A and B are shown apart, each in its own frame.
Chain A
Amino acid sequence: MSSAATMSVSTRDTERYEEKDFGFWLYLMSDAVIFACLFATYLVMVGNAAGGPVPKDVFSLNRAAAETALLLLSSTTFGIAAVSLWAGDRSKVLLWLAITFLLGAGFIALEFSEFSGMIAKGAGPDRSGFLSAFFTLVGTHGLHVSVGLVWILVMIGQVFAKGLTAPVASRLMRLGLFWHFLDIIWVVIFSVVYLPGLL
């Protein structure tokens, strides 16, 4: 907190990035509360099948496991992209970001097929309170992943156009926080939604 008037531009920039990182952490905490409310809602409503399908009827352990694998793997590949960022290797950053994007897109594709399959079987979100809660919880996570995918594309564009400049690196680090955060949420979804539903 030294006087901004006397500090060099780079210290000032560092402080700006710290502010942004801290602000982003706060956003993640706020978002975590959103998910906490959705989890609580799901747990309240999981028994409210209203004569419709119950978790056992609609979940597939194989697909959930595949989704988990894709997302966990994408967190790892993002980690490699971050390591490449510190190494200053632009092409590797681009490569690993692209791989992360593909893994994330695979996750979304699986989720999409799961949702459309359920809706086709008459187990859509308007069937019962349980299914409303399920689609909303998992769908909100999926929406976050989709936003993350767009963000990855934007960052690929920025790395491509601007190189690994300080602002771009700072944004990449926050994207990383976001991506890993979604991973953690997914792990909770897997353990709270899919596992108890199938065991």
Chain B
Amino acid sequence: MDIFGRLTIESLPFYSAIAASGAAVTVLGALSVAAVITYFGAWRLVVFQWLSSVDHKKIGIMYIMLALVMLVRGFVDAAMMRSQQAIALNSDGYLPPGHFDQIFSSHGTIMIFFMAMPFLSGLINLIMPQQIGSRDVAFPFMNAVSLWLSTAGAALVLISLVIGKFSTAGWTGYPPYSGLEFTPGVGVDYWIWAVLISGFGSTMTGINFLVTIIKCRAPGMTMFRMPLFTWTVFITSVLIIFAFPALTVACAMLALDRTLGMHFFTNGMGGNMMNYINLFWLWGHPEVYILILPAFGVFSEVVAVFSQKRLFGYISLVLATMAIGLLSFTVWLHHFFTMGSSARVNSFFGTMTTIIAVPTGVKVFDWLLTMYRGRIVFKPPLLFTIGFLVTFVIGGLSGVLLALPPIDYLMHNTTFLIAHFHNMIIPGVLFGYLAGYMFWFPKAFGFKLNEKWGTRAFWCWIVGFYVAFMPLYVLGLLGMPRRMEHYEIAAWQPHLIVAAFGAFIILLGMICLGVQLWVSIRDRKEALDLTGDPWNGRSLEWATSSPAAPYNFAVLPKVECRDAWWDMKQRGVAYQRPEKYEDIVMPKNTFAGAVIGAAGFAFGFAMIWWIWWLALLSLAVIGAAIIVRASNDDDEFVMPASEVKAIEDARFAQLAKAPKNAMEGEPGFAGQPAPEPAA
């Protein structure tokens, strides 16, 4: 047996110029990151302040950095597909089938697992503990493990560009095609292990968030006083905990088929491919809501803050979120009405699916009614919200159409389906995350993002979205299947050229986002957030300084109603100093999380290439790290009251320099919160 398993020198991508350049970009990207860190002499900082950190805010920032990097990679895939299809009428275009297939597989895998999931975990990590008035998540160390396992999964996808090939079986990895019989290489194994390893991280994240929300809320923060973002995180965490096991089982069985020659999903020998598809979507459909509910949470926060008005229909929104969470487990079969189930089964799942449109519609109307009789300030996060509201209902329309089995028989597997779910995921999920990114950026870094470039990014994204995806609806009605490397029907091409142009406009949107970040860092002194409350906010994350102190709150806030921070400002008890500060117990930094992540990466790599000694070794390292960590009773330290006082003194000195309200002077500012008149 070979010491390197299946890994040989032929695994390097010198067989094609495009593959080699993809590999080169990946390697150069990694090298340039290292170069930048070296240039700034920041290795010590990176290693000791970030790599070993268990602070939820730093972990959140690292998640979002990972998500943005993967967003770029996923977008490159998308742009390659769009340009290939724009030219591939009766020609092979510039991508051969084997390469095109890898690209659509990695695009979906990256966008769902390594862009959306980290982005979501990042925003939640950054904000949720502050929103409920907590000092950290319940399990800071486990939080770090989750981050590094997600990173390990993402690293596996990235390295598949350099060593070997990625899966050609799509992001859903349907067997039997994804089995050894039809795809014998390492591609599907890369997909399986990237998904499995990051999936463990996601499950732990879900548990962590749920315990945090149930157990770590500030005094007075009852469930029905929680901000809506926290509510959506709550439901999303429940969905993660109950849905991800199905994915784990499906992927693990596929791995057993491929590695040990078992017959779960093979064509013959008693395999049953339908079981995979059921398990996959038993996870897959809740996953859609796992992604979108926190985005709904962001929209709820943003629309209230920038309408300078209370969120309309709070209870309705909470109930709608719960209903969506519950229903999300009852609709998975609508992903395969065409498998040949009976009319009764299809009708049931079709009906359950259309029912989800009700709570979703309620949400849309409640957000609109929040703007009604408000004083709307048009900042980039709100622009993304409005763009979402208008665009999302179109996706909802096409979603209900696809929920009708007779229509799905025709539209399934066509670009109509592609247009539909991008219509949900780009305006619904990505716009939500980008709104959250621009909304909470000052909380993370202490200065605001440039609004001009944020607005430009918004316009490019929204216009680009329409131009890129409306043609796909049309193409679906013309019968064009998804995943076509080339085609012979001339009527399709004009639409594909328009769609490619849309992708180009989205590229401009990506560039605007990059420029926004660059310009904002360059001009940060002009947009400092001195108060910690740059938007005249309503929930408790705006009560901390920007960036928040390691402990978030020197004194835990006492909550008396919804919109706790707004209420404190109204009652005139915001920014109060306690008589004296107390010691605060904080979790110690540890490298165990990064070690487990690195070993997880090595384990995945070993399982992909059948390097059994390395698999055993990395499992042993993980086991040892867990045992050592679990036997350590000394994982916290006490930050003395004097140090807390010093940090808080500095904060209040900064507050004294700040204008009374950061929104003062903005066009449309409705004024400071004043004490309410008696009813």
Contact = CB atoms under 8 A, between A and B. Distances in A.
B540 interface: no
A50 B270 contact: yes
Contact of A125 (B208, B262, B282, B584): B262
B269 interface: yes
Interface string A12-43: 10010011101100110111011011100100
A34 B282 CA distance: 12
A132 B263 contact: yes
B181 interface: no
A136 B256 contact: yes
By size class, the interface of chain A is 35 or more
Interface residues of B, number: 52
Contact of B256 (A6, A44, A125): A125
B208 A23 contact: yes
B430 to A, nearest CB: 28
B248 interface: yes
Interface in B209-264: 210-211, 214-219, 241-242, 244-246, 248-250, 252-253, 256-257, 260-264
A50 B241 CA distance: 35
B631 interface: yes
Secondary structure dominating the interface of A: helix
A51 B167 CA distance: 32
Contact of A30 (B214, B241, B263, B584): B241
B560 to A, nearest CB: 15
B138 A41 contact: no
Nearest to A18: B215
B5 to A, nearest CB: 19
Contacts of A132: 253, 256-257, 262-264, 270-271
Given A37-B279, A125-B262, A154-B627, A30 B268 contact: no
B218 A48 contact: no
Contacts of A87: none
B1 interface: no
B630 interface: yes
Given A31-B245, A45-B275, A129 B269 contact: yes
B556 interface: yes
B279 A22 contact: no
Given A125-B260, A167-B633, A1 B217 contact: yes
Given A23-B207, A30-B203, A4 B585 contact: yes
A126 B272 contact: no
A121 B261 CA distance: 17
Given A130-B270, A136-B256, A158-B631, A29 B242 contact: yes
A30 B260 CA distance: 26
Contact of B270 (A1, A33, A128): A128
Interface of B: 135, 138-139, 203, 206-208, 210-211, 214-219, 241-242, 244-246, 248-250, 252-253, 256-257, 260-264, 266, 268-272, 275, 279, 282, 555-556, 582-585, 623, 627, 630-631, 633
Interface of A: 1-6, 9, 12, 15, 18-20, 22-23, 26-27, 29-31, 33-34, 36-38, 41, 44-45, 48-50, 52, 125-133, 135-136, 150, 154, 157-158, 162, 165, 167, 171
